[in-house]
Chains A and B, each alone.
Chain A
Amino acid sequence: MTGYLIRRFAQAIVVVLGVVLLTFLLSKLIPGGYARAALGQRASQAALANFNHVHQYDRSIFRQFWNYIWGIAHGNLGFSFRNNQTVLSLIEIKLPKTLVLVGLSTVFALVVAVPLGILQVVRRNKPIDYVLTGVSFIGYSMPAFLLGEFLILWFAIDLKWFEISPTGTTTWQILADPRGWILPVFSLSAITIAGFSRYMRSSMMETLTEDYIRTARAKGAGPARVLFRHALRNALIPIITLLGLTLPAIVGGAIITETVFNYPGMGLLTTQAATSNDVPLLIGTTFVAAIATVLGNLIADLLYAVVDPRVRYS
Chain B
Amino acid sequence: MTTSPALEPGTPADATPSGGEAQQQSGGGLTLQIFRVFIENRLAVVGLAIIVFAILFCWIGPLIYHTNQTDSQQAFLHSVANARPSGSHLLGTDPTGFDILGRIMYGGQISLEVGFAAAGIATLLGVLVGAVSGFFGGLVDTILMRFVDVLLSVPILYLLIVLAVIFSPSVEILILVIGLTAWLVPARLVRGETLSLRVREYVQAVRVMGGGGSRIVLRHIIPNTIGTIIVNATFQVADAILLLAALGFIGLGVPSPQTDWGTMLFNGTSYALDGYWWEIYPTGVAIVLVVVAFNFVGDALRDAFEVRLQRR
Identify the A interface with B (CB < 8 A).
Answer: 11, 14-15, 18-19, 21-22, 26, 29-31, 137-138, 140-146, 149-150, 152-153, 157, 248-249, 251-253, 255-256, 259, 270-271, 274-275, 277, 279, 282-283, 285-286, 289-290, 293-294, 297
Contact = CB atoms under 8 A, between A and B. Distances in A.
Contact of B157 (A14, A138, A255, A277): A255
B151 interface: yes
Interface string B105-138: 0000000000000000000000000000000000
Interface string B226-268: 0000000000001000100110011110000000001001000
B139 interface: no
Given A14-B146, A145-B265, A146-B287, A252 B156 contact: yes
Interface residues of B, number: 41
Contacts of A145: 245-246, 249, 265, 269
A152 B274 CA distance: 12
B295 A140 contact: yes
B240 to A, nearest CB: 12
A138 B154 contact: no
Given A18-B150, A274-B250, A256 B157 contact: yes
A152 B269 CA distance: 11
A271 B158 CA distance: 10
Contact of A270 (B150, B158, B272, B280): B158
Given A15-B153, A22-B151, A31-B166, A259 B249 contact: yes
Contacts of B164: 274
A201 B122 CA distance: 29
Contacts of B151: 22
Given A141-B291, A279-B165, A22 B154 contact: yes
17 contacts: A18-B149, A21-B150, A26-B162, A26-B163, A137-B295, A142-B288, A143-B242, A146-B245, A149-B269, A252-B156, A255-B158, A256-B246, A274-B164, A282-B158, A283-B162, A290-B153, A297-B153
Contacts, number: 137
B183 interface: no
* Residue among B147, B155, B246, B262 having the largest count of chain A Cβ atoms under 10 Å: B155
Nearest to B287: A143
A270 B245 CA distance: 17
Contacts of B80: none
A143 B262 contact: yes
B104 to A, nearest CB: 14
A188 to B, nearest CB: 13
B292 interface: yes
Contact of A294 (B153, B249, B288): B153
Contacts of B252: 274
B161 interface: yes
A146 B242 CA distance: 11
B155 A289 contact: yes
Contacts of A14: 146, 149
A143 B292 contact: no
Contacts of A259: 249-250
B192 interface: no
B258 to A, nearest CB: 19
Contacts of A144: 246
A289 B230 CA distance: 32
A290 B149 CA distance: 11
Contacts of B284: 143, 146, 150
B152 interface: yes
A271 B157 CA distance: 11
A143 B146 contact: no
A29 B173 CA distance: 14
